[in-house]
Amino acid sequence: MVFDTLKNAAQYYSLHEKFEAAFDFIKEAVEKDLAVGKYEIDGKALYASVQEYTPKAPSDGKFEAHRNYIDIQYIISGIETMGDMDMAKAVPKSEYNPEKDVEFYYDNDKAGYCVVEDGEFCIFFPHDVHKPGLAYQGDKGTVRKIVVKVRV
């Protein structure tokens, strides 16, 4: 997992050939205040969704992982907590769903959590089991977020 601010995004361009385009989309989406919805950037290789929601209680969240995509989760406004644990420490809760590219995992006391606010992002690679969208200290304020999916 990577946790950083958008001003440092260029440091991560070398991690994947599509990261520069992914971060360019995030910058443009913020500048243009794009509406909630799905956006195709480069077909199935790179696409995004702008979301707006109320974060959930940690007990209502689910750990998940993807095999075919990297998630870049950028907070436009609001604050949320995101969980992360290494795949080697995760116990599957469901079978992998190839149509949705997701597998769910049981909660684990070995997971770490970070607080993500306006202008910050997390990158979750396929080996990062993650649990996004959690309320920070019970805060139920609205979160506006962009999730960019980058095909591996």
**Domains held by the chain: number:** 1
Note down the domain range covering 52. Answer: 2-151
**Cβ contacts of residue 141 below 8 Å, gap of 6+?**
54, 55, 78, 79
* pLDDT value of residue 115: 98
Whole-angstrom Cα distance, residue 61 to residue 130?
Answer: 10
- Residue 35: DSSP 8-state: P
**Cβ contacts of residue 91 below 8 Å, gap of 6+?**
105, 106, 108
Task: Please write the tens of the pLDDT for every residue from 8-49.
Answer: 999 999 999 999 999 999 999 999 999 999 999 999 999 999
pTM over 0.85: yes
Q: What is the CATH number of the domain that holds 140?
A: 2.60.120.370
Report the run of H or E that residue 32 belongs to, with start and end.
helix 19-32
Residue with tokens 């799905």: 38
| N-to-C CA span, the chain | 15
32: phi > 0 → left, psi -120 to 50 → alpha, else beta; which? alpha
For residue 115, give both structure tokens: 């607080």
Task: Please write the tens of the pLDDT for every residue from 38-86.
Answer: 999 999 999 999 999 999 999 999 999 999 999 999 999 999 999 999 9
